[in-house]
A = this chain, B = another copy of it.
């Protein structure tokens, strides 16, 4: 059976993996950079700067939104996307915690 077994891992592992997954496409990293530079962005600007169709960009935005990394409001023909700083920093610190936990241990590899 090809069911994914993600639910059999700890919540923290799942959360971190979900965060990493949201960042696992260069288009989404690019979008996050844009949002950070301007503090807000409408979808159209992002579409203009990415080599992707409007519907594809919209999908990437949706994924970032589902992951909680950005928030967005749409008023008819206009949208406004922003970075969700709170969630972003939470994940950032969780990531750092993981890295630091790893780094505490012996730093020379055996192989």
Q: Which residues in B have their C-beta under 8 angstroms from that of A21?
A: 20-21, 24
Report Cα–Cα, A80/B80, bound state, in Å. Answer: 50
**Contact residues of A with B, CB < 8 Å?**
5-6, 8-10, 13-14, 16-18, 20-21, 23-30, 32-33, 36-37, 39-40, 51-52, 71-73, 80-85, 88-89, 92, 95-96, 98-99, 101-103, 105-111
Shortest CB-to-CB span from A71 to chain B, Å, is: 6
How many copies of this protein are present in the complex?
2
Q: Which residues in B have their C-beta under 8 angstroms from that of A25?
A: 6, 17
Whether the pair B40, A111 counts as a contact (CB closer than 8 A) is yes
Q: Which residues in B have their C-beta under 8 angstroms from that of A24?
A: 17-18, 20-21, 24
Whether the pair B102, A82 counts as a contact (CB closer than 8 A) is no
